[in-house]
Every structure is written in C-alpha cells, then in structure tokens.
Amino acid sequence: MEMAQTPIRFLTESERLFADKEAVVCKDVRLTYRQFGQRVRKMAGALSALGVGKGDRVAYLGLNCHRLVELYYAVPGLGAILSPLNVRLTQPELEFILGDLEARLLITDSTLAPLAAKLEPTVKGQVICLDHGQVPANWLDYERLLAEAEPVAEIGHNVDESDVAEVFYTSGTTGRPKGVMLTHRNLHQHAVSVAVSLPVHATEVQLVGTVPLFHVNGWGAPHYIVAMGATQVVTSRFDPTEFFRLVRSERVTLAMMVPSMLAALLSLAPEHKGDTESLEHIMIGGAPPPPTLIRAARKELGVRCTVGYGLSETSPVLTIATIKPDLMHLPAEAQDALRARTGIPILGVSVRVMDPDGHEVAWDDQSIGEIWARADSISPGYWRRPEETAEVFVDGWFHTGDMAVVNKEGYLQIVDRKKDIIISGGENISSVEVENALYSHPAVFEAAVVAIPDEKWGEVPYAFVALKPQMAASAEDLLAHLRTQLAGFKIPKGIEFRAELPKTGTGKVMKQELRRPFWPGR
C-alpha cells in the first residue's frame, strides 16, 4: 500500500494518539492535540468558504503565534500553498512577493496593520486580521471566522505528495527575492529525518519562536514536533529574559537559536542559575559558531549545544553535528569542537563537498569545496524562476553555494559562502576562521569579517567587533591576539568597533551592509 507523503498525516495521527496531551502553548493559550486539530480543521473550513482551494496561495505577515502553527496545517490541508513572509522586509519587497505569488489572501496582525493596509491592493482577495476585537474595518476576523466555520472532516484528502505546500522567499541572484517551493513530500521526509536524527520524543517540550517561524520552514519544528506528539511553546520573538522564564515555567527541554542569541543568554547566565535545569539541548544554526561558545554553554548553562546546517531549499536541515558512537570517548572539550562543526548528514540526506572540477575533496580538513546535497527533503526549485532553478539544481544535486572542508571522520566545516571567501593576493581566506579567532579573545561578544578593496592584494579582510559589556580591548590588542593564531596574510587590515552588528530578522549578521561602504558603485 502506498500513501501520499504529507505532513497532514502527522496531525491526523497525533489527534488520535495524543488527544489530551498539550500540543501548543502560546502566551495564555494552551491547546491539547484534540483542540489544536479542531482549530486546524475549522480554519480549513473557513478558508474553503472564502474560496481558497487547491493551488491557491495564502500569505502570512505577522510574528510567531499559535495561529501560524495552525496555518501550517490548515492551508496545505486544503491543497493550497502557505507563504509566511519576513516582517522585516520593506513595503516594495513585500509588494513584489505578493504580486509574484498572486496571493489569494493575506493574514496579518494588528501591529502590522498600517503596513498591511498599504499591501492590500496587491492581494487578489481579502485580508484577515489575527487579533480578535482589534480588526480594522473591511478586514475579516480570524477568530470569528474560525468560530463560525464548519470543520473539514477529511483534511488533506485531495493532496498529492508532489504538490507545493509552502513557498519561502529568499534573496535572488537578480536582486529580487525568489520563492523556494517545498512540496508535501519534502516536508514529510524532512520531519521524519530530523525527528530520528536529533532525536525528538513525545516527552519533548520545544521552545519555538527563538527564531521566526516565517524563516526556512520554521526550521521544521511545526512538523516534526506534531509528528512525535511533542509540545511546542511559541513565543513571539527572542528575548533573553523571557527565554529563561519560559524554560523554567514550561520545563522546556529543547530550543533552537542562532549564535548571537546564545551569546546573549550567556551574558545573563549568572543571573539565572537553576532556570535551565530542564533544558537538555540547544540546536545552533544560521551561522557557524566558535567552539568557545559551545564550551561556554556546557559549562555555564549546563546544556548540550549542537550545530545544525541547512537552507530554505532543503526544508532546511541537512547536517547535525552529533557525536558518532566511536567518538564518545573523546574529552568534553574535543566533543565541543566537533559539536561546533557543520556536522554529518542526517538520515536520508546525501552530502558531498566538491571541487570546481566536480570531484569530491579529500577528507583532510584543508581542501575546500562547495557543498552539494540531494535528498527527498530538497526543493524542486524556485517559484516561477526556471533559469535560477537550473543554476543550482544540476544533475540531481543542489549546489548550496557554501564552501566547506571535511575532516577524517566525515564532519563538514563551513569556511564561507562562495561570495564571502576573501581572495587576497591569490590566497583564499575564510572569514569564518578569522571570526572564530576573534571570538577566542575574552572581550569579544560579536565579530564579522568582510573583504574590502586593496590596491596591492585586490582585497583584504576587515573586521567589525562588538565587545562584551564592561569589557575593554583595543584594535591593537585584538590584532596581537590574532597574530598568535593566524598566518600573517589572514590578519585583518583594520578593526572597527560597533555597539552591535546589523542583523537580519533571523539574527544573522548582515555582511552586505558592512561591506557596502567599501565598494561604492561595485
């Protein structure tokens, strides 16, 4: 017997097996799997009554909320396509995306009402507001729609596994955002792979919302948590103090975040002794962290941290830096160093690091190549972008654009994006390597290294640093520290101090913003 591989099956089974178990916690809302499933089915009914059907696009513009988790099932459950949008994009960017999608509906919250009102003309249908009692005139009320709707009994019955379920927009090579299509099969297989590889159990309580759910499929959490009958605690945005409170009050066991968030937690760790007793595991993604960060989390928070790696195109997780059984004998600090690497492929994923001639690089931790991947969880391509799809999906492999080395045990380590490799006088310099060396200085809180033009060498590295509160270091102090760890050609031409580094809505440092002043007109 064959069944369509779709994440909607996760919900229908967990409704039966875990009916009275807590599924979602969001502020003062607490939903069992029975209640969560009923809300999903009623919202599917409400959307259907508004004319949403197979292939229609529904856009979501708002902060993390239990309603977005519901929409992760209600929209694809109708055979329609959900597209969560980045709330930090500008009006022109969002107008382009909504037009590119030909969105049938826009679902938003009252805090973004002024922006959503300007976007309304680009939406083919109506606007739905999430906040009951705060709905602008002519907009629909999410909770009222849900309360009055007839539930869809057979959710997902008309779905084919090759149907597109979600579209996430990411930067395009032409300067326009491009939509990454994720199919039902992509999402189903990704959830299974992550649940097995982390692993995730029904007893898990994951804090969801430390990273935005509009980013790269919510890191897969809305699917693998429901698949396993676990609990997700949703917070609207990352706040270090609120993080500690929720971990303590909800007995959170698992969380995911980018390195800058973990650094913020560590800065407050002395004030929150005992708050992380339940927390067992933090998954780090979004950027390569320094091993010192992983070590500090183990020592100061008592938490195991592991790096994961992926992209929008891969649903997103490709690798996790789990410790292989034959390496468990290594000392704790050696294991920290392994957990800080990009990792090894998760179940069902094939990864290769390839040189420019298409040959796999040696596992010598020195030879640099591009990461190629293939898996059932990898996107079929970009929404209405056949040329850009053909550029990176080649002969059954997705070319990630990330450059890496591989050690003798098969653990990858990203050294840079292709565009971020600094080529100085013919030598390749990894900005990540220089950043990690900066992070090893006790006064450094954040660091980013970019290429700037140089008449002699073509380009050279240049560093931006934010120091830890109440700590001091001069540029010469940091340069002297780097000279003990790096070859001379890798030393930054200069160091510029900032109170904080510019970041995207997902916490990644915006290197393009740091580079731009040095490359006018280029």
pLDDT value at position 522? Answer: 59
pLDDT value at position 506? Answer: 66
Helix (H) or strand (E) holding 101: helix 91-101
- For the residues of 242-302, what is the DSSP string, one character each? HHHHHHHHHT--EEEE-HHHHHHHHHHGGGGTTTTSS--EEEE-SSPPPHHHHHHIIIII-
Those residues with Cβ within 8 angstroms of residue 468's Cβ, 6 or more apart along the chain or in another chain: 267, 442, 443, 444, 445
Which residues on neighbouring strands pair with residue 444, listed in sequence order? Answer: 467
Those residues with Cβ within 8 angstroms of residue 41's Cβ, 6 or more apart along the chain or in another chain: 74, 77, 151, 152, 153, 155
pLDDT value at position 512? Answer: 85
- For the residues of 28-63, what is the DSSP string, one character each? TEEEEHHHHHHHHHHHHHHHHHTT--TT-EEEEESS
Can you say how many angstroms the Cα of residue 21 is from the centroid of all Cα atoms in its chain?
Answer: 27
Contact (CB, 8 A) for 349 and 193 = yes
Those residues with Cβ within 8 angstroms of residue 14's Cβ, 6 or more apart along the chain or in another chain: 23, 33, 37, 226, 227, 229
pLDDT value at position 426? Answer: 67
Kindly tell me the burial class for residue 93, based on how many C-beta atoms sit within 10 Å of its own C-beta (0-12, 13-18, 19 or more): middle
pLDDT value at position 173? Answer: 43
Consecutive sets of 10 residues in the chain, 522 residues long: mean pLDDT of each?
A: 94 98 97 98 98 97 96 98 91 93 96 94 95 85 96 94 96 71 98 97 95 92 98 95 98 93 93 95 88 94 96 97 97 96 98 96 96 98 96 96 96 85 79 91 95 85 95 96 90 95 81 90 62
pLDDT value at position 397? Answer: 98
Spatial distance between the Cα atoms of 328 and 58, rounded to a whole number of angstroms:
46
The model's pLDDT over 265-284, given as tens digits with 9 standing for 90+, comes to 999 999 999 999 999 999 99
pLDDT value at position 451? Answer: 92
- At residue 310, what are phi and psi to the nearest 5 degrees? 180, -175
State how far the alpha carbon of 253 is from the alpha carbons of 28, 220, 233, 247, 325, in Å: 20, 17, 11, 8, 23
pLDDT value at position 354? Answer: 97
Q: Is residue 309 helix, strand or coil?
A: strand
Contact (CB, 8 A) for 59 and 107 = yes
* Alpha helices in 311-408, H assignment, sequence order: 332-339, 386-392
Contact (CB, 8 A) for 354 and 155 = no
Give me the amino acid identity at 268. Answer: L
Spatial distance between the Cα atoms of 19 and 13, rounded to a whole number of angstroms:
9
Spatial distance between the Cα atoms of 295 and 274, rounded to a whole number of angstroms:
18
Tokens, residue 510: 């915006």
Q: Distance from first CA to last CA of the chain, Å, rounded?
A: 57
pTM across the whole model: 0.86
Spatial distance between the Cα atoms of 348 and 334, rounded to a whole number of angstroms:
27
List of domains in the chain: 32-159 (3.40.50.980), 190-417 (3.40.50.12780), 421-518 (3.30.300.30)
pLDDT value at position 174? Answer: 47
- At residue 336, what are phi and psi to the nearest 5 degrees? -55, -45
* Alpha helices in 309-355, H assignment, sequence order: 332-339
Q: Within a 10 A sphere around the Cβ of 171, how many other Cβ atoms?
A: 11
